[in-house]
Amino acid sequence: MNASTEPALPAPPDPATARIAVIGLGYVGLPLAVEFAGSNPVLGFDINTERVAELREGNDRTLEVPNDSLRAALDGRLALSADPADLAGTDVFIVTVPTPIDTFRRPDLGPLESASHLVGAALRPGAVVVYESTVYPGATEEVCAPILAAESGLELNVGFWLGYSPERINPGDHAHRLPDILKVTSGSTPAAADFVDALYARVITAGTHKASSIRVAEAAKVIENTQRDVNIALINELAVLFNTLGIDTTEVLEAAGTKWNFLGFRPGLVGGHCIGVDPYYLTHKAQEVGHHPEVILAGRRINDRMGGYVAEQTVRALAQARRHVAGARVLVLGLAFKENCPDLRNTRVVDIVAELGRFGVEVDVLDPWVDAKEAEMEYGITLVDSRQMPTGTYDAVVLAVAHEQFTDPGFDVRAWLAEDGLVYDVKGALPAGVADARL
């Protein structure tokens, strides 16, 4: 059937009464489930039974949804489950599972494929499946749709519809919440696109942008973070250059920033679930069709080596201060991938820790935002407790993440240092004169 021809489908669900299932209750899925539960019956589904149990108690350790808002939703239209049988009778499935990369930096579609098998088994005629996970252009229709069809026995655009509306959650950002961020929508047919757009318009007060196709929406999402990655890579390369020239990068950027159209990017570590991952989805697709994406891959190489560079600069500073590097004690402030957020996904602070370890440095890591068990499980890093740390014991302190606790005027970062110890400010967040060196 021609995709541009309206199929003879069962009547689509009414957006006002549609029963919605959100698959994956992480940083993206949980806020979405809570928001939709303000007007629709919603089932929040996750295969992690511990996560579901935690949320049923009204506690969200990601801090993306205030606990009072979560509990209010649970008292209303939101139900939570880890049982696939509970997906029966769903009108709209919204898939928000992670799309990571493997050890070879290739797209790992395993979670997306597993979610598609799960949804396909529960799919009924006339249902709509919307994906929010970041993918390369074409993945939703080329990878997910065939799984849905095979599991359900239904044909795309004949038995069910498909939609894509990429997530734009910014973990830890309480100024830009889900309803306040304009949403891109799309569908496998004009009717599907209209339905998906109308559904999200119910909860997104900032408005929606209906793309002409799923592939356009997929491409728009993946280049949002690729653009940021490339721009940060440029500034990181400039920071390395200016350090070599003995010029303060922060001062250079402040001076250049006085021009009205200068973009305000800063050097730093590029981790997290999006910026450090999404470009590899685009480069994978580019190489698949025979195009070598030179600029994107160059940016990735620069950003991926910045943790090692920070460690090397710290070691250089120790050596110049005539301190023994092997056996030196260094305190790293922050482990999360960004400030004021417990999110550890793809944090590049671990590169600093690992590289310092290779120089024989003894490294402690302090992060009041991060769950200590998760840090141990994911990275084998045992966090220290500030209440049990003696002051004046470290040869260097590295501010890796600018948590509010570390940048508060009352926080004395130099109190942790031994006499003539060094402070390296990765984020350029400390007041002038506090840091001995910065990126």
Per-residue DSSP letter, 212: S
Phi, psi of 164 (to 5 degrees): -140, 125
Closest CA to 27 of 55, 57, 68: 55
Q: Which of 21, 23, 80, 274 is catalytic?
A: 274
Instruction: Tell me if residue 144 is catalytic.
Output: no
Q: In angstroms, rounded to a whole number, what is the distance separating the alpha carbons of residues 165 and 183?
A: 7
Q: Measured between alpha carbons, how far is 419 from 85 in angstroms, rounded to an integer?
A: 63
Cβ atoms within 10 Å, residue 152: 20
CA distances from 3 to 124, 128, 156, 164 (A): 20, 16, 10, 16
List of E strands, 24-168: 42-45, 78-81, 92-95, 128-131, 161-164
- In the numeric block, which tokens belong to residue 123? 């799919």
Q: Please give the structure tokens belonging to residue 237.
A: 């390369």
How far apart, in Å, are the Cα atoms of 277 and each of 166, 223, 339, 384?
Answer: 15, 12, 19, 29
Residue 301 neighbours by CB distance under 10 Å: 10
Longest dimension (CA), the chain: 78
Q: Which residues contact 92 (CB under 8 A, 6 or more apart)?
A: 13, 18, 19, 20, 21, 127, 128, 129, 130, 199
Spacing of C-alpha 76 from chain mean position? 29
Q: Does residue 108 contact residue 100 with C-beta atoms inside 8 Å?
A: yes
Are 141 and 188 a contacting pair, CB within 8 Å? yes
Sign, CA torsion 126/131/137/139: negative
Token reading at 432: 């002038």
Catalytic residues: 274
